[in-house]
Structure 1
Amino acid sequence: MPANEYIPFLSEIKEVIKHTDIEYTFRLAYNGPVKPGQFFEVSIPKYGEAPISVSGIGDGTVDLTIRRVGKVTNEIFERYVGDTLFMRGPYGNGFDISLYQEKEIIVIAGGTGLSPVKGLVDYFCSHIEETNGMTLIAGFKTPQDILFIEDFRRWQQKLAVILTVDQAKDNSDYRIGLVTQYIPELKVKNIDEAVAIVVGPPLMMKFTTQSLLKRGFHQENIWISHERKMCCGIGKCGHCKIDDTYVCLDGPVFNFVKGVQLLD
């Protein structure tokens, strides 16, 4: 008999990694199929639940990077290693690794939009021979807002990495500017075959995809994620419904041919 997708299961916190004052990664016990870009519903009795994107996939663990923004996440931040959280999922279609193998890959992420695509970056960083080259452009508001600092150091050894911030005070270690301004500088080997993945706030995705199309990328070679629209995860609450599309069921990852119809 298949598992009841409504019923959460208990998962032990194996590690807590602090990135900023309000953003931590919780490494939770999990054994089962999961893809980068999918999400879990994390819940605490009496407080509610919140949809959280998968930011890393390990051996018997899954990483969920959480921003402290409300009642549920405030309570999650009171949990420590050895404590447990309720989870259900994973939900959504995620990023299919096979779609990008043997291709030149461009990943462009804004702020916490790096979280749902991080698992894919991790995979190809460890299997760079399965690509025709990979570039990561990641933008944050300030140096203090940068997530996954240690991962960036590891990625820079294998990938072409452009790390930029909107503003910085007397700090010349970071590039300054929006991610879109670096798209014209991309050295793409074959624009007809290169693939791009864009995740971030809706306006960032809108202008980034416009810049990629202007550069010559084909719509069918671009993927986006509407992970910010998640709510119940199973298409019952209707909060993620756009026209006839339930983002939690049909997405959150979409090929741009479909995803462009869902951008605000």
Structure 2
Amino acid sequence: MKNNVYLPQKVEILAVIPQTEIDYTFRLQTSQIRPLSGQFLQVSLPKVGEAPISISDFTEDYLELTIRKVGKLTDVINTLKPGDHLFVRGPYGNGFPVKSFAGKHLIIAAGGTGLAPVKSIISNYYQHPAHLASLNVLAGFKTPDDILFKDEIQLWREKFSVLVTVDKADLTWPGHIGLITKYIPEINLEDQKNTQVIVVGPPLMMKFTCQEFIRRGVKEENIWVSLERKMSCGVGKCGHCKIGESYVCLDGPVFNYTKSLELLD
């Protein structure tokens, strides 16, 4: 008998790590799920609902989901404690082509919660920095209170160039202010052919960030994006996430920039 692809598995919450007032990272006990960076899970609670959640990090023993309180399901999830359980199915979707980044200059530009789907990539290169020629991380948030993964960012700065910027802040903020695009000209892009770029965030942020990298000489085929859609079945059957002839849950959410240009609603 074939496995039921719609049947979730029950997983225990090992830890709940506050990120902001409305963002929490849930560490889940699971050794059976082997995701790729950029994939997502369908997360559910019986009688409450189900939603697609990006996998923010993972090891052989556990995985992490960074969840924002934005509705009925996520409001309930954010009341759970270690020892409670979630139901998950997946992983689903197409991940980032991490193997093709080997030896390259990689730039990751993330806006807001867009940092979550790429956190596992940064964590991997923090453990294995020699796998890349170099890594630049640009992370943009609305305010200092919205910054995710503050402790991890401090660690990343030990090995990579990490720039965090906010849209607005008071005079006590010692860091950068402005959109990510403001700081792209500061990145060394002498070797565009050896450069790969990942851009994840709100649609307008991705649009103008990609355009700025292209203006600086990065080839379109060397840029990767992750599209946000409300995936439902996760297996390309319901059509909820279909754009043209593509199903984001199957063909994405990670797309090469050249392909993403064809995906117009």
Normalised-by-shorter TM-score class:
over 0.9
2:9 is aligned to: 9
Q: Contact (CA 8 Å) 1:53, 1:227: kept in 2 or not?
A: no
Q: Contact (CA 8 Å) 2:221, 2:258: kept in 1 or not?
A: yes
SS of the residue 2:232 aligns to: coil
Deviation at 1:50, TM superposition (A): 0.9
2:203 is aligned to: 202
The 3 A distance-change label for structure 1 pair 154 and 83 is same
Task: Provide the C-alpha distance between the structure 2 equivalents of 1:183 and 1:231, rounded to a whole number of angstroms.
Answer: 35
Deviation at 1:84, TM superposition (A): 0.6
Q: Contact (CA 8 Å) 1:43, 1:86: kept in 2 or not?
A: yes
1:26 is aligned to: 26
2:255 is aligned to: 254
2:151 is aligned to: 150
The reply to whether residue 91 of structure 1 matches residue 92 of structure 2 is yes
Task: Provide the C-alpha distance between the structure 1 equivalents of 2:229 and 2:155, rounded to a whole number of angstroms.
Answer: 27
Which whole-Å deviations, capped at 9, do the CAs of 1:20-66 have from their partners, x for residues lacking one? 11100000012232111100011001101011000001231010000
Letter in 2 for 1:198: V
1:123 is aligned to: 124
2:69 is aligned to: 68
SS of the residue 1:262 aligns to: coil
Q: Contact (CA 8 Å) 2:224, 2:257: kept in 1 or not?
A: yes
Task: Provide the C-alpha distance between the structure 1 equivalents of 2:65 and 2:229, rounded to a whole number of angstroms.
Answer: 14
TM-score normalised by structure 2 residue count = 0.96
Task: Provide the C-alpha distance between the structure 1 equivalents of 2:42 and 2:217, rounded to a whole number of angstroms.
Answer: 38
Task: Provide the C-alpha distance between the structure 2 equivalents of 1:35 and 1:23, rounded to a whole number of angstroms.
Answer: 22
The 3 A distance-change label for structure 1 pair 189 and 130 is farther
Letter in 1 for 2:249: C
Which region of structure 1 is more displaced relative to structure 2, 79-88 or 219-228? 219-228
Letter in 2 for 1:170: L
The reply to whether residue 114 of structure 1 matches residue 136 of structure 2 is no
The 3 A distance-change label for structure 1 pair 172 and 48 is closer
The 3 A distance-change label for structure 1 pair 55 and 263 is farther
Q: Contact (CA 8 Å) 1:227, 1:253: kept in 2 or not?
A: no
Task: Provide the C-alpha distance between the structure 1 equivalents of 2:128 and 2:118, rounded to a whole number of angstroms.
Answer: 16
Q: Contact (CA 8 Å) 1:199, 1:205: kept in 2 or not?
A: yes
Which region of structure 1 is more displaced relative to structure 2, 234-243 or 82-91? 234-243
Task: Provide the C-alpha distance between the structure 2 equivalents of 1:259 and 1:204, rounded to a whole number of angstroms.
Answer: 14
Task: Provide the C-alpha distance between the structure 2 equivalents of 1:263 and 1:191, rounded to a whole number of angstroms.
Answer: 28
Deviation at 1:197, TM superposition (A): 0.3
Q: Contact (CA 8 Å) 1:28, 1:62: kept in 2 or not?
A: yes
Q: Contact (CA 8 Å) 1:230, 1:240: kept in 2 or not?
A: yes
Please list every run of 5 or more consecutive structure 2 residues that lacks an aligned counterpart in the other structure. none
Task: Provide the C-alpha distance between the structure 2 equivalents of 1:182 and 1:4, rounded to a whole number of angstroms.
Answer: 47
Which whole-Å deviations, capped at 9, do the CAs of 1:115-166 have from their partners, x for residues lacking one? 0011011111211101010000000000000000001001000110110000
Task: Provide the C-alpha distance between the structure 2 equivalents of 1:114 and 1:26, rounded to a whole number of angstroms.
Answer: 15
SS of the residue 1:192 aligns to: helix
Please list every run of 5 or more consecutive structure 1 residues that lacks an aligned counterpart in the other structure. none
Task: Provide the C-alpha distance between the structure 2 equivalents of 1:229 and 1:157, rounded to a whole number of angstroms.
Answer: 36
Task: Provide the C-alpha distance between the structure 1 equivalents of 2:264 and 2:107, rounded to a whole number of angstroms.
Answer: 20
The number of equivalent residue pairs is 264
Task: Provide the C-alpha distance between the structure 2 equivalents of 1:19 and 1:44, rounded to a whole number of angstroms.
Answer: 22
SS of the residue 1:147 aligns to: coil
Task: Provide the C-alpha distance between the structure 1 equivalents of 2:233 and 2:183, rounded to a whole number of angstroms.
Answer: 36
Task: Provide the C-alpha distance between the structure 1 equivalents of 2:222 and 2:166, rounded to a whole number of angstroms.
Answer: 27
Which region of structure 1 is more displaced relative to structure 2, 234-243 or 49-58? 234-243
SS of the residue 1:198 aligns to: strand
